[in-house]
Amino acid sequence: MVAPHLSSHPYRGATVLVIGLGRTGRAVARYLAACGATVRIAERRPAAELGDAIAELPPAVETFCGDDAAAAPATTASPAARAFAEGLLGGVSLVVPSPGVPVDLALLAIAAERRIAIVSEIELAARALTIPLIAITGTNGKSTTTTLVGEMLREGGERPFVGGNLGTPLISAVAVDEAGQATPATYSAGVVEVSSFQLEWVDRFHPRIGIFLNLTDDHLDRYADLDAYGETKLRLFARQGPGDVAILNGGDPWLRRHAGSLAARRIWFGEGEGVAIRADAAAIRLRLDDRDDEVYPLQRVSLAGAHNRENMMAAIVAARTFGVAAPVVRRTLESFRGLEHRLELVRERGGVRWVNDSKGTNPGAVIKSLEGHSGDVILLAGGIEKGGDYGVLRAPVARAVRHALVFGAAKAMLARTLADETAVEVVDSLETAVARAATVARPGDTVLLSPACASFDMFRDYADRGRRFKALVEALP
């Protein structure tokens, strides 16, 4: 999907349709209104469910909320839904869909038919920014790596913007003056977590340094197969040239097969032929451009596990190729404490560790979280399945999990999948799962919330789920 060409500043006087009134949609609307555009927002949810979201918008922004026609797929849209979409697009010269908006939406199909430009928020931002970007994608580890790279740059004297899919939309980094023109950057660099959804509508998005951490089954409710999912993520590198850097996981077989077409300088980390940086439990070792090895000891580093060693390797290469000094990188590794909701120790109670891994929303993330355990895990899992093969959980669960408590929309599927590997108990809620785990766990165990699923059946998002889990655990006597 290639977005039609836009001139560098076409927004003053333009009419723009933003689809979705989440955090990204609101940030885009504020930016475009500041640029002098007429902004419309289409949102499937009714205004009563949106809280203060509408109040955050500039007064002139038009909102169209609560009409299911805004979410109608192109293939099944009724005549009424199509007429609604055509009306919304009247006079529109640009459409900006939020990341969660499906690509098969009738609104987008009609916009494409009319040759209306469609761009994602990160594309919109990148066109206005002049600072170098470091962009991180992959199935798992994006948020940790993004935050760690940002800290390394900050400790190295840069003024980095850190955000993207991680939280603060990249468009928030663009300052606009009273004439609606982008002003000199407040930041010296941008470090951006990028999802496949955000890459569906990019054209000129061009990071100086791109990182692809890994690829495992995820979002296969949206993509036809793993190749379609991975090829969308590879769009992050489409505009790179020989002067740019692509940092890739050498131990990922899909990346090894598909990275040959990248024009950037490729630097491999982890395992396999030609890697520039390797790790074991004691240290990470980097060699770039025939220099002497740089050694990053791990004795005082709090990030644990093989998956975090991969994240750290990618972050080290990004920071060093950006120009951060090696001693600064070492110091940052030792001071970094990790992220909320990603293997976060909540409490030790009666010899039992309670760990919040609510961001583990796919089987690959759960597999990584179970590494290093052998029969001592009480696993809490469930929510809305995201497609793909959940059977890959069987062997890791058989090795690491003593008892599984499953809940949410996917509980029956998870129970069937894991029934032959460990003791499985189906429960109605996270509250019940925590209460049962407190009964089942014994000293030396780890109670791990690593759901392998999306959260939207029972929670606002993974963070809401993680906060609820922490509150329940802290409330245990």
Q: Which of 140, 206, 214, 219 is catalytic?
A: 219
Give helix 306-322 / helix 142-155 axis angle, nearest 10°: 40
- Three-state SS at 454: strand
CB-CB neighbours of 353 under 10 Å: 17
- Three-state SS at 399: helix
Pairwise CA distance, residues 234 & 231, whole Å: 5
The DSSP symbol for 240 reads -
Q: Is 219 a catalytic residue?
A: yes
Q: Which of 140, 165, 249, 308 is catalytic?
A: 165
The DSSP symbol for 74 reads T
Give me the DSSP letters along 163-182: EETTSS-GGGG--B-TTSPB
- Tokens read off for 458: 């029972």
Give me the DSSP letters along 86-123: HHHTTT--EEEE-TTS-TTBHHHHHHHHTT-EE--HHH
Q: Which of 142, 233, 359, 386 is catalytic?
A: 142
Residue 269's contacts (CB-CB under 8 Å, 6 or more residues apart) are: 247, 248, 249, 250, 275, 276, 277, 278, 310, 313, 314, 317
Pairwise CA distance, residues 419 & 82, whole Å: 46
Hey, what amino acid is at 216?
T
Q: How many CA atoms lie within 13 A of 189 on its CB side?
A: 24
Hey, what amino acid is at 31?
Y
Which residue, 285, 310, 437, is CA-closest to 371? 310
Pairwise CA distance, residues 250 & 269, whole Å: 5
**Do residues 122 and 192 lie in contact, with contact meaning Cβ atoms separated by under 8 Å?**
yes
- Beta strands per DSSP E along 217-303: 245-249, 265-269, 275-279, 283-286, 294-297
Q: Is 206 a catalytic residue?
A: no
What are the catalytic residues? 142, 165, 219
